[in-house]
Chains A and B, each alone.
Chain A
Amino acid sequence: MVSSAISLSTVVLFLPLIGMFILLFLRSEGKDGHGNENIKWTAFGFSVATFIATLIMWATFNPAETGLQFVQKLDWIPSIGISFYLGVDGISILLIVLTGFIMPVAILSSFRAHVIHERGREKLYYAFMLLLEFAMLGVFMAQDLFMFYIFWEVTLVPMYFLIGIWGAERRIYAAVKFFLYTMAGSILMLLAILYVGIQAQTFSVPDIVAGIQSGALVFPFSGIFSTQSFLFLGFLIAFAIKVPIWPLHSWLPDAHVQAPTAGSVILAGVLLKLGTYGIVRFCLPLFPEATVAWAPFVATLAVIGIIYGAWVSYAQTDVKKLVAYSSVSHLGFVVLGIFALNNQGIQGAILQMVNHGISTGGLFLLVGMLYERRHTKDIAAYGGIWKVMPVFGGLSLVITMSSMGLPGLNGFVGEFVILMGTFGSEVLGFFFALFATLGVILAAVYMLYMYQKVFMGEVTHEENKHLEPLHWQETTVLVAMIVVILWIGLQPAPFFAAMDSTVNHVVQNLGPAITSVVMK
């Protein structure tokens, strides 16, 4: 299995890291004494290059293949079965492309952020961005549990600094809370990883999964409190914090409200998906019986999260906090879809991860653009913005509608397929679908509330009467988002096609577990 040729996955993974090192060698100050223009353009260039590489990856990806593609496997610590093992399959390909897409958007949206000019350290900022991209791509491509864990932890570091240095007033508090919270969950996962690794004598995920399927490797299962279940929970809690699944969401509003715009975009766009991705990648195939046994419980939390997040979101007066809580609701749909444990549910969930990255990332961009102009996130400070900035109002409407799940836009496709899967799920069924679908109504309630209070109504605040129109860079990022929103909304078939066979494989392997646990 050890191959020496460099795979495309390695290229994608290391491009941002190379970019980061090059950044570090650039001079911090330009010739005119201000910041060096080359810094941000270099960062942007590398993120675009990475994006192109991910697109090439998607284009050359063979959707019929159930196993790993673009495999790169090198020995690392052979004595304990740890290897440098990269690979891409239908579960990760779209998320890799999403990461590739979100990063240039986030970087471009940082160019005009006044907080960077104010606090300085531009070079460090962009270096952290690229480091973050490296780590996130690593999480999505790592096929070795140990490696996965390292990348998982590395994502924390740049995000910690992005919030801590360039965040709002209570940034330190938020950064520490973000760090600690995630870390606390990770420790449990680490224990579980070590146990699994020791039992399997390898950390290679495909090998472990193969062992489980062949029956060579057994994690004893006898109910919701047995070895397998504890291992399952070890992973799940780490992921649940990251997602976050209700009630572990307490760090999210802090992190979002305090993070700089680009930080929020990445956090919502990609980082939260590490959790849901992890569930699909590890919990389902490694612990099938425990997954089935715990599915109704986790799905209940997800449905509570859908309704709770939406309801809490509606009462917010801080627009960024409103969007943050809406994430709790939206990711509830994703988790619900995963634990439907059927093709519709899981494929819908993966698509919805992408959708949420685009729509909520987009919403945070909008909030950021408003913030740059008015330096407040208080909803009451706005009103009538549509009249003052008509183009912005129109673009915002599309993104808001996407987040609300308007059919014809991306959000609908994901939610619809998830709910359909939930409805027909052998482990969930009618009532889960019923209550989750109520979330669709609530989404309209808080989203329209936000849109109306910010964009409609008469302009009452003097400061709002003359706002700077959109800069071309701002228009570009929003239009890029909207193109994807429309694309997925109208033609989601290629997205489903990319993941279909891999997910089907996962679902098929869950079959025996569903039969044995549900029948019992």
Chain B
Amino acid sequence: MENYPQLVTLIIFIPLIGFILNLFFGKRLGERWSGLLGTTAAVLSFGVALLLWSYLINSGYEAAVVNPPFLDGWIRIGSANVEIPWQMRVDTLSVTMMLVVTGVGSLIHIYATGYMHGDERFSRFFTYLNLFLVFMLILVTGNNFVMMFVGWEGVGLCSFLLIGFWFDKKNGLGWKNSNAARKAMIANRVGDFGILMAIFLIFWTFGTVDYFRPGEIANVHLSEGGHGEVAEGHGEAVAAEGEHGEAAPAEGDHSEAAPVESDHSEAVTAEDDHGAVTGPVYVNNDHIETSQLGVFGQAERMVEEHHEVDFGPFSLPIETVLVLITLFMLLGAAGKSAQIPLFVWLPDAMAGPTPVSALIHAATMVTAGVYMMVRSNVFFYNAELTSLIVAIVGATTAIMAGFVALGQWDIKRVLAYSTVSQLGFMVAAVGVGAYGAAMFHLVTHAFFKALLFLGSGSVIHGVEHGHHSALERSGHGHGHGDSHDHVDDHGHGHDEHEEDHAFDPQDMRNMGGLARRMPLTYITYLIGTLALAGIWPFAGFWSKDEILADSWLAGIVDNKLGGFIAFALLLAAAGFTAFYMWRQLEIVFYGQPRTEAADHASESSPSMVIPLVVLAVLSLVGGFVMNVPSGAGAFSVFGVFNDVFGTHKFTDWLAHSVSHAHAAEFQPGIAIVSLVLALGAIFLARSIYGRGKSAGVETRDPFVDAVPSGGTLFGLANARLYWDETYFRLFENPFNKISQFLADTLDWRFWHDYFHETVIGKGFNGIASLLSNPIDLGIIDGIVNGVGNLARWIAGRLRLVQTGYVRTYAISLMLGVVLVIVILLLPMLQR
């Protein structure tokens, strides 16, 4: 058991090996083996994550710090006390992320073997997917901010590669795809600027960027009392362990993993003494010197001491520094987790293949910002101003994106805005201090949003199939040749646009009535919809409700303005969510097919459907199995859920690494309100779009006529609130214009041509000819002749066109130098 944390190295190396093998041999392996290789790597990683999970449970949640083999530190500058190691942390938070990333990742790998079938760059796709896993796992396992940043930008690169996966499509689509890829990476870079600044601030404030030092534990504020004695008891033991862990990693086996040995046996004894102590006994870090702590431990001490941080020319109170750090972090999170003002890249990112949208742009990568903020909960907790801003940003994003989703016709675009909106929920949760709820929603959202994206992929696939068989039956299009072969070549449809770009298989108006044609996809999609809409007892109900309850409590109990704002906006956003999801369901699955393609759609292959079923089960039970709150009354079937699955299991689990993860009391009133609201929204959506009233490509959206001033509202939502256009006007266009001006006018025509050619060039020529004539004939004739000959020789060699040019320059210059040397050396030689 002791060496179990070492396995965390494998969780990165396995996909790395998959990446390398697929990179070099993927093409030769062929579709089947290449896909199998990539998928196996993902599944094995998931197995490792499970082992780490069981390790944590069996070891009493002992966090461990692991130095990977082969790598000897990373950025190390001895004289400046900079020590940034490659170091990984196994604790409940990182293992949660590992489980989500590799678990959902595995399912999506399986799905992709079906979805990408027939693509000319099949093995490349799996190469990228495995690389993504590598970076995502570096991001979540790293024990310091810089290592997190490696993963952070690495997943950004993978996102770039995968959004631009079909960079070579015809009819301008290739450019569109690669533009989307570039946009994503640049928007993320703006965020990364924030992360970098945050890291610099952190380093100069704390002298380190490590989350926790080996031997240190996260301070937990769940159960404060009754552990002082225990802590004192093993102070020394822990300190020794800590020192040991910090010793040079070269020392060998032992220092490679320095699990927090907070003397487990002693903790057990403590339990015995007190009789029925529920929950684990925590040890604090009182015995460790402040400078030896990681950043969070130091931050807490400094806040207690009202420390002033000295930055040389000025000093700031620690609270102010934390506000600055967290604000810069928020910028980074806004980039990666698609919040206002940087979310604009995410909807465009849907240009990538659908499994990518599910894995990277819904379930995992985009949650990295939330992960980072939860990881830094100590900072955010102590930065009230930032928390307020975070709450506002998150809640505003949630409602804004929810509104935009109302007016979209592209099946994936609805889901994309929905993702932005749900990420807003998580971010707002961080803002109101509900770190546990944020993570809870992150996990459940990974289930149902991955499910919905994969479902939409299945729908697109089915419609493309239908489009092809419809074309073939009606005899136009590609009637030539063996029709069976044809389906094999093109049936999987990623070249669809190239052949017939008039038909858009992602446009929901081309669908309708798919429930009967794709029953499994339909049922799973329905489950995903209900989960996302927050209907009891689906996963989304529990996590969303916890966020709402926490916001409410933050407002009422703690008197936080952010709590009220978040509660109001999120509640409205929840209503939007239910509405746009049901609208989608109506347009896609119910009613009559509106096109031939939809009419001939068929269910997808098992490799695609099985992941859907698994995710559907998780979306159904994930919420109450993981984290039933206390006092949920009828909602937990009068305590049956609590008895079977335990209460606040997930929050308690997180609390071992997230200092401020607190479990909120269930708020029946809020649950009822949000449930009624969601059901009402569904009812409304059904009455507007139901019974075959859904729009076709030619007709208006029924919303326009059903709601007062619906035309304006729908127009705004449909135009995505003109964000892109505004950004183009405010930033992109001026940036390009200035760039042009700087490059052409200022740098080239003025500085390069006018100033250098005219002012300096001509001026120099004039002076040179003035000076060189008398001297040329005078004092040092020989040298001049020599130089002149040299110049002539050069000129001859080069077969110069403009003979006089070089000579004038070279002579005058050489002369000048020689002259200066001689004049200056003469007095020295005489001395």
Contacts and interface: CB of A to CB of B under 8 A. Distances in A.
Given A176-B805, A187-B816, A312 B193 contact: no
Contact of B186 (A386, A445, A457): A445
B76 A187 contact: no
B72 A449 contact: no
Interface in A119-135: none
Contact of A176 (B82, B150, B154, B809): B809
Given A401-B157, A424-B203, 5 more contacts: A172-B801, A254-B752, A314-B743, A408-B153, A424-B200
A403 B169 CA distance: 28
Given A492-B74, A497-B78, A190 B200 contact: no
A423 B77 contact: no
B751 A247 contact: yes
Nearest to B76: A493
Contact of B742 (A312, A438, A493): A312
Closest 4 CB pairs of A and B: A315-B743, A504-B79, A343-B80, A456-B178
A180 B813 contact: yes
B780 interface: no
Name which of B167, B809, B821, B824 has the most chain A CB atoms within 10 A of its CB. B167
A444 interface: yes
Interface of A: 79-80, 164-165, 172, 176-177, 179-180, 183, 186-187, 190-191, 194, 198, 247, 250, 253-254, 308, 311-316, 325, 342-344, 347, 384, 386-387, 401, 406-408, 412-413, 416-417, 419-421, 423-426, 429-430, 433-434, 437-438, 440-441, 444-445, 448-449, 452, 456-459, 490-493, 496-497, 500-501, 503-504, 507
B316 to A, nearest CB: 10
B71 interface: yes
Contacts of B179: 452
Interface in B734-788: 735-736, 738-740, 742-744, 747, 751-752, 755-756, 764
A426 B312 contact: yes
A417 B74 CA distance: 12
A387 B742 CA distance: 33
Interface string B161-188: 0001001111011110011011001100
Contact of A441 (B186, B800, B806): B186
Given A172-B802, A176-B809, A448-B185, A344 B80 contact: yes
Given A165-B797, A176-B806, A452-B179, A500 B739 contact: no
B805 A420 contact: no
B557 interface: no
A311 B739 contact: yes
B190 interface: yes
Contacts of B755: 250
Interface string B139-171: 000000010011011100100100010011110
Contacts of A179: 809-810, 813
B576 to A, nearest CB: 33
B75 A312 contact: no
Nearest to A439: B193
Nearest to B148: A407
Given A253-B752, A314-B739, A429-B312, A437 B178 contact: no
A434 B197 CA distance: 7
Contacts of A459: 168
Interface string B74-98: 1111111010001000000000000
A456 B161 CA distance: 10
Contacts of A79: 829
30 contacts: A176-B810, A183-B813, A190-B820, A190-B821, A194-B824, A250-B756, A254-B752, A325-B743, A343-B77, A384-B168, A386-B168, A387-B168, A408-B153, A412-B153, A416-B75, A416-B146, A423-B203, A429-B312, A445-B189, A445-B735, A448-B186, A456-B167, A458-B168, A458-B173, A492-B74, A492-B75, A493-B72, A493-B74, A493-B75, A500-B77
A311 B740 CA distance: 9
A172 to B, nearest CB: 6
B74 A491 contact: yes
B817 A190 contact: yes
Contact of A458 (B169, B189, B797): B169
Contact of A183 (B152, B186, B817): B817
B167 A416 contact: no
A503 B181 CA distance: 41
Contacts of B76: 493, 496-497
A419 B168 contact: no
Contacts of B247: none
A247 B742 CA distance: 13
A456 B174 contact: yes
Nearest to B134: A408
B828 interface: yes
A491 to B, nearest CB: 7
Name which of A165, A433, A448 has the most chain B CB atoms within 10 A of its CB. A448
Given A176-B806, A437-B197, A496 B75 contact: yes
Name which of B79, B173, B802, B825 has the most chain A CB atoms within 10 A of its CB. B79
Interface residues of B, number: 82
B475 interface: no
A107 to B, nearest CB: 22
B75 A413 contact: yes
Contact of A457 (B75, B168, B742, B794): B168
B204 interface: yes
A352 to B, nearest CB: 13
B702 interface: no
B820 A503 contact: no
B96 to A, nearest CB: 24
A467 B172 CA distance: 22
Given A312-B742, A315-B739, A444-B189, A503 B167 contact: no
Given A176-B806, A183-B817, A312-B743, A507 B168 contact: no
A497 B80 CA distance: 12
Name which of B169, B174, B181, B199 has the most chain A CB atoms within 10 A of its CB. B174
A250 B744 CA distance: 13
B71 A490 contact: yes
Contacts of B739: 311-312, 314-315
Contacts of B168: 384, 386-387, 456-459
A458 B193 contact: no
B545 interface: no
Name which of A172, A347, A457 has the most chain B CB atoms within 10 A of its CB. A457
A315 B742 contact: yes
B275 interface: no
Contacts of A187: 816-817, 820
Nearest to A160: B794
B744 A315 contact: yes
A492 B201 CA distance: 22
Contact of B751 (A250, A314, A434, A444): A250
B17 interface: no
B461 to A, nearest CB: 24
Contacts of B74: 490-493
Nearest to A405: B153
B798 interface: yes
Nearest to A254: B752
A500 B146 CA distance: 21
Nearest to B161: A397
B606 to A, nearest CB: 32
A190 B825 CA distance: 11
Contacts of B72: 491, 493
A165 B79 contact: no
Nearest to A421: B80
B180 to A, nearest CB: 11
Interface in B801-831: 801-802, 805-806, 809-810, 813, 816-817, 820-821, 824-825, 828-829
A456 B162 CA distance: 12
A48 to B, nearest CB: 27
Nearest to A121: B797
Nearest to B753: A250
Contact of B800 (A172, A401, A413): A172
